[in-house]
Structure 1
């Protein structure tokens, strides 16, 4: 026990009187990963491509998603349990084609981060089916920059109801 106490006592902070020493302080500054204006526009256009596909253009999915994209919907049930379900590009395409009503998803206040060939988008959204509000939540999208441009590798989202999520600041979609 004495050996343990003396070993702990020997672990003293380094003397920082030397100006060349570096203080390691955790930082929340992510500005180094902020997308350029061009990257932001390209990345958000790719994500918007999924929303355009939901409006009836199912072929758009293959233009913006990797073939092996992972998609997961995450819900908090009334009893507080969290449920998740996965879907495939083919399943989403089938849903779009067979849907008898128009789906509208709108993102806003999007945060885009880039590091080399990888980007993430964290964005609130609201979702309407056949002109009726369905749900809102957060989309989290991971993209890879390929020779063809930005492509979605994964898409995860929460499905909630206000006040647990925000509606688009422009109000309901017009003309839907």
Structure 2
């Protein structure tokens, strides 16, 4: 084979490999998004069994907030207390967390998702912020291992 033929074959192989990697990354991102949407479907319906299918049992929940004197602090919520609050939510209360967009990065068995949101309580605006999800692939599906979020009432546009 001449050098030109070898060069063309090399370029084609690299292009095919890049296309396969791009498709795999897109698939990962869609799977990650589907996991997050399933988590929130359970959240909105008060279906903690559905939520548990999307999370690691040791999932960590942290919120970055300002305290009453304006100092930034981190509050951690126990996953069992979080799920208990959802399960025991009064039937007349409607919690609606609206995810505004998704920015997802995935590499093999780990992924990160950034989702700005608005939260409504009984159809009334409560607060906004950003969720940051960390997920891993356990060999069969994506699992949420951590969520960090912010919450604010002003500057939400």
1:119–1:143 CA contact under 8 A, matched in 2: yes
Post-superposition offset of 1:123? 1.5
Q: Matched residue of 2:150: which SS?
A: strand
Equivalent residue for 2:111? 119
Name whichever of 96-105 and 82-91 sits farther off: 82-91
Counterpart selection for 1:62 from 52, 57, 62? 52
Post-superposition offset of 1:108? 2.1
Post-superposition offset of 1:93? 1.4
| Between structures 1 and 2, the one with greater helix share | 2
Provide Cα deviations, 1:106-144, integer angstroms capped at 9, x if missing partner: 212211001221100011011112222111101110000
Moved over 4 A (4+): 32-35
TM-score, with structure 2 as normaliser: 0.76
Equivalent residue for 1:98? 88
Name whichever of 125-134 and 113-122 sits farther off: 125-134
The number of aligned residues is 134
Post-superposition offset of 1:80? 2.1
Counterpart selection for 2:30 from 22, 41, 45? 41
1:35–1:114 CA contact under 8 A, matched in 2: no
Q: Matched residue of 2:53: which SS?
A: helix
Provide structure 2 residue ranges, at least 5 long, that are not aligned to the other structure.
1-20
Equivalent residue for 2:122? 130
Provide structure 1 residue ranges, at least 5 long, that are not aligned to the other structure.
1-31, 167-176
Equivalent residue for 1:72? 62
Equivalent residue for 2:152? 160
Structure exhibiting the larger radius of gyration computed from Cα positions: 1
Between the aligned partners of 2:35 and 2:95, the Cα distance in structure 1 is 18
